[in-house]
Amino acid sequence: MRRTASQFGLTDEQWDNAKRQVRSAILEAAYDRRMTWYGEVAARVDLFDLEPYSALMNHLLGAVFEDERDAGRPALTSIVTHKYGDKEPGSGFYAEARALGYRFTEPFIFWAEQVQNVFKCMGAPTAAASRQSTSGLPNSGRANRNAVRCLAVHIGPHADARQPGREPGNRSSVS
């Protein structure tokens, strides 16, 4: 779904900066291997007052989701949930996933897989994972270590369950 800054009375620059701030807030939580919530993410946008459950927030999250999918990464926005109650993503997460071509029959399983993949790909390395994923590599910082782990998530034995155009049995997939 193509979103435009003008839909919300924003300039392209404001839209891009807000999207960057939303992504950054989510990445920080992902690196800490923790869930975040709409209000926490909205509070990190300092360009304007962003309401956590607004259409603008939904569209920013959708744009981040789409960018991550286009880059071959797991659904970063899967770790953005309701702070209270079910502590799951809103229905917009599943609608956006389907709009982006993901197919699944069990939304909760799809969501749980995406959360696990985000933490594997973008989370701080655990001691064991750090030794395993960076063996033989120069100490090049957390970004490169995470890139190695993220690549492993997508080219591992079950990578077809996360790649566009593949439908491996009952596992979630993208068409």
- DSSP per position, 57-77: HHHHHHHHHHHHHHTT---GG
Q: Is 156 a residue whose pLDDT tops 50? A: no
Instruction: Give 51 or 5, the one with higher predicted confidence.
Output: 51
Q: What is the pLDDT of residue 155?
A: 36
What is the rounded CA–CA span in Å between residue 58 and residue 96?
Answer: 10
Per-residue pLDDT, 170: 40
Cβ-in-10-Å burial (0-12, 13-18, 19+) of 29 comes to: buried
* 89-123 exposure pattern, b = at least 16 Cβ within 10 A, e = fewer: bbebbbebbeebebebeebeebbebbbebbbbbbb
Q: What is the DSSP letter of 102?
A: E
pTM of the predicted model, to two decimals? 0.74
Alpha-carbon distance of 94 to 127, in angstroms, equals 33
Average pLDDT over residues 149-169: 40
The yes-or-no verdict on residue 46 having pLDDT over 90 is yes
Q: How confident is the model at residue 129 (pLDDT cuts 50, 70, 90)?
A: low
Residue-range domain boundaries for the chain: 11-174
Residue type, 73: R
What mean pLDDT is predicted for residues 144-173? 42
Mean of the per-residue pLDDT values of the chain: 80
